């Protein structure tokens, strides 16, 4: 195993480390020892994830025989306050105290819920993420945002609660279903759009290698994406300014998830559609150059297949957007890209322009995707 890359993240009152490298999960016990003593390690995961990675990770964590593992469902519909209550009660029954260490093993749903549980149980216990999906490795496990959904919208209840450590191991992606892997690549593309035009160009040139899970190409884009996320959240932990750029494509994407009751799209798939819609909106608003918008849409299209855009009236999607966390005073705010490698939040986009994009968006996966200046 090559030497892992360690990336420091600054949070309020503390720093934590992202440990990135093939095989780091197999040495999880060693890395967790760096956090100091704990009265117990409590694994929170899903049955599906644990079947795939549990045997190897148990060895890496040096779990004792019979040590309990706490399970939850890992679908978006499981991100509820009821799930948080049941997990807190499970920790209590298992004897977890304030010096306990909660190890979240799974994708974004497990990480979001486990983070909220860690923030809430006994008013805060130590948390470590072992992300097992591409979305979680490059995005959701980094930055301390935790939360659950309400029927009215996604992630409306939660807390900022930084982990003590994140172990990012590309080898854990070997069993990831192709659909989840493609969805995760949407978040990687996002980093190229908002912060690194060289990464975007690398993705254009190497997307087939990455889709084939070429180890070197995959390790490069994961580490680069994680470093971008770490840099952004270190400068703006609480999403008061710069961090909003991480939501590129998410205003559209969250609306698609909410409008379909979180049952049609995996998160990355909704973000993929959202990025294409954001590129088109940026072009229509004369913010994103036509060539850049076309490149964004063309690259996202190479993640096909994606679930089809739902047969939902634009007015319904606009209402869902109105509940987005970036909305201020009832005004929709969109993260758009004035140039590849850059992004800003805009709050004066005319609603008729947004409606026009929503009417055209269902056709963005249909070839050819041409945008005329």
Residues marked as catalytic: 123, 145, 187, 229, 239, 243, 247, 250, 254, 267
Q: Can the peptide bond before residue 264 be classed as cis, meaning omega within 30 degrees of 0?
A: no
Closest by Cα among 244, 245, 192, 243 to 220: 192
* Contact call for residues 18 and 142 (beta carbons, < 8 A): yes
Strands (E), the chain: 5-11, 14-20, 40-45, 69-71, 100-106, 126-131, 145-150, 153-160, 165-168, 334-336, 344-346
Closest by Cα among 79, 73, 103 to 91: 103
* Contact call for residues 112 and 104 (beta carbons, < 8 A): no
What does each C-alpha distance from 222 to 152, 164, 189, 241, 373 come to in angstroms? 33, 20, 11, 24, 34
- CA max distance for the chain: 64
What does each C-alpha distance from 195 to 52, 189, 199, 232, 373 come to in angstroms? 33, 10, 9, 9, 24
Q: Which two tokens stand for residue 258?
A: 């909410």
* Contact call for residues 28 and 60 (beta carbons, < 8 A): yes
* Contact call for residues 224 and 231 (beta carbons, < 8 A): no
**CA angle 47-5-268, nearest 5°?**
45
Q: Which residue has the tokens 């160009």?
A: 201
How many other CB atoms are found less than 10 A from the CB of residue 95?
A: 11
Question: What residues have CB less than 8 Å from 50, skipping those under 6 apart?
Answer: 69, 71, 105
């Amino acid at each position: 195993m090559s030497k892992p890359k360690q990336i420091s993240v600054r949070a309020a009152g503390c720093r934590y480390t992202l440990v990135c490298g093939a095989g780091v999960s197999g040495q999880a016990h060693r890395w967790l020892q760096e956090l100091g003593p704990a009265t117990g390690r409590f694994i929170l995961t899903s049955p599906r994830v644990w079947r795939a990675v549990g045997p190897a990770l148990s060895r890496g964590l040096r779990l004792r025989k019979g040590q309990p593992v706490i399970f939850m469902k890992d679908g978006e519909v499981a991100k509820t306050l009821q799930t948080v209550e049941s997990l807190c009660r499970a920790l209590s029954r298992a004897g977890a105290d304030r010096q306990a260490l909660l190890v979240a093993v799974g994708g974004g749903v497990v990480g979001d819920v486990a983070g909220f549980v860690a923030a809430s149980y006994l008013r805060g216990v130590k948390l470590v993420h072992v992300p097992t999906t591409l979305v979680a490795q490059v995005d959701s496990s980094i930055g301390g945002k935790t939360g659950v959904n309400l029927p009215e919208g996604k992630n409306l209840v939660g807390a900022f609660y930084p982990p003590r450590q994140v172990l990012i191991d590309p080898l854990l992606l070997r069993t990831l279903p192709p659909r989840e892997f493609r969805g995760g690549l949407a978040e990687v593309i996002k980093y190229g759009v908002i912060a690194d035009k060289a990464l975007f160009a690398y993705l254009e040139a190497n997307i087939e290698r990455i889709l084939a899970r070429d180890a070197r190409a995959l390790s490069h884009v994961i580490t680069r994406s994680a470093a971008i996320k770490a840099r952004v959240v270190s400068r703006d932990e609480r999403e008061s300014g710069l961090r909003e750029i991480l939501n590129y494509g998410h205003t559209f994407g969250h609306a698609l998830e909410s409008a379909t009751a979180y049952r049609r799209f995996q998160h990355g798939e909704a973000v993929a559609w959202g990025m294409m819609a954001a590129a088109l909106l940026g072009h229509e608003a004369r913010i994103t150059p036509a060539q850049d918008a076309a490149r964004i849409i063309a690259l996202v299209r190479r993640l096909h297949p994606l679930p089809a855009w739902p047969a939902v009236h634009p007015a319904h999607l606009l209402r869902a957007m109105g509940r987005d966390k970036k909305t201020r005073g009832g005004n929709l705010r969109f993260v758009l890209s004035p140039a590849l490698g850059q992004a800003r939040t805009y709050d004066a986009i005319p609603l008729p322009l947004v409606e026009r994009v929503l009417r055209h968006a269902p056709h963005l996966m249909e070839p050819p995707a041409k945008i005329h200046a």
